[in-house]
Amino acid sequence: MLRPGGAQLTLWFAIFLTALVLAACAAKSDDVSLPETIKIPAGPFIIGSDRTEREAAYQLDEAAYGHQRTRQWKWYENEPDRQILELPAYAITRAPITKAQYAAFVAASEHPAPDVDPDTWAGYKLIHPYERTRRHAWGDGGYPAGRGNHPVVLVTHADAMAYAAWLSLRTGQNWRLPSEAEWEKAARGTDGRRFPWGDVFDASFLNSHDAGPFDTLPVGSFPQGASPFGLLDAAGQVFEWTATPERSGRFIVKGGSWDDSGCGICRPAARHGRPETLKHILIGFRLVRSHD
């Protein structure tokens, strides 16, 4: 038998290493911690709102809260006027990223786990007491027991981008936060409906303070509230970071949360800017990647 020379050994070793890498990538791509995605086709959709939709949103809020503060504070006046916008194809995670999915990133990268200290929380000047953050905060044992399928919260904009970068390296795909427009198209379809399911608000279709437990719930708990593309939890549950800046140091969040009533803010057209360093119990995220 002829023995291979040094060049042959080097080539065989390189082939062997390549096979190992490909096998590892295949195993990783099948990992249960990978988020499920849905495909959003290229084409036009209706983005934004008109005066009639904004007025209806204010009226929903007033009926729920018994006051006119969202109208007085002009919450919905920064929405773009209703128009047609065209986007290329992309894929988006069907639900917000869960604590279990985020835990794989924390374990692999040693990225700080979601939490916030009392002084930082007090500095945000939010209405929620610090004690309420504890049911969402992570300890030495990881995420809170029984909440692995709840959306991850207490994450900054940079935390969300770090998870996307890690997932990109892990899968060889390009993951990132959605733009505001990408998020809105996935959440409302192409026909400009006011909510993911249609034009009429129904509190049984989402996790909001109207009929919810005043807490996060497992993702996908309201399949009847899915968008025409099949996006879940696009209204209520948690606000979601986008890649679209509002102004320096602030990014647009979309979707409303379990804390909201009304729920004018839960419409896909609604938008608010939040500081990029904010760790909030009401804010999580989902990701997009290039269309296959």
Structure tokens at 82: 């209703």
| 30 is a domain residue | no
| 3 is a domain residue | no
Buried/exposed 161-177: b ≥16 CB within 10 Å, e otherwise: bbbbebbeebeeeebbb
| 96 is a domain residue | yes
* Residue ranges making up the domain that contains 167: 39-290
pLDDT score for 291: 62
For the ranges 2-16, 127-141, 154-168, the lowest mean pLDDT is seen at 2-16
Q: Kindly report, residue by residue over 25-38, the tens digit of the pLDDT.
A: 433 444 547 899 99
Kindly report the average pLDDT of the chain as a whole number: 90
| 148 is a domain residue | yes
Q: Kindly report, residue by residue over 48-65, the tens digit of the pLDDT.
A: 999 999 999 999 999 999
Q: What is the band of 22 on the pLDDT scale with cuts at 50, 70, 90?
A: very low
Task: Check whether 10 has a pLDDT greater than 80.
Answer: no
- Give dist(CA 99, CA 152) in Å, integer: 5
Q: What is the band of 21 on the pLDDT scale with cuts at 50, 70, 90?
A: very low
Phi first, then psi, for residue 90 (nearest 5°) are -160, 170
| 262 is a domain residue | yes
How far apart, in Å, are the Cα atoms of 170 and each of 17, 26, 228? 17, 10, 30
| 223 is a domain residue | yes
- What CATH number is attached to the domain comprising 163? 3.90.1580.10
Q: What is the band of 140 on the pLDDT scale with cuts at 50, 70, 90?
A: confident
CA nearest to 234, candidates 281, 193, 274, 275 = 193
- Give dist(CA 276, CA 292) in Å, integer: 30
| 85 is a domain residue | yes
- Find the mean pLDDT for residues 55-84: 97
Task: Check whether 268 has a pLDDT greater than 60.
Answer: yes
Q: What percent of the chain has pLDDT over 90?
A: 87
Q: Kindly report, residue by residue over 280-291, the tens digit of the pLDDT.
A: 999 999 999 986
pLDDT score for 133: 98
pLDDT score for 4: 37
SS3 163: helix
What total number of domains does the chain contain?
Answer: 1
Predicted TM-score (pTM) of the model is: 0.88
pLDDT score for 31: 54
- Find the mean pLDDT for residues 148-158: 98
| 12 is a domain residue | no
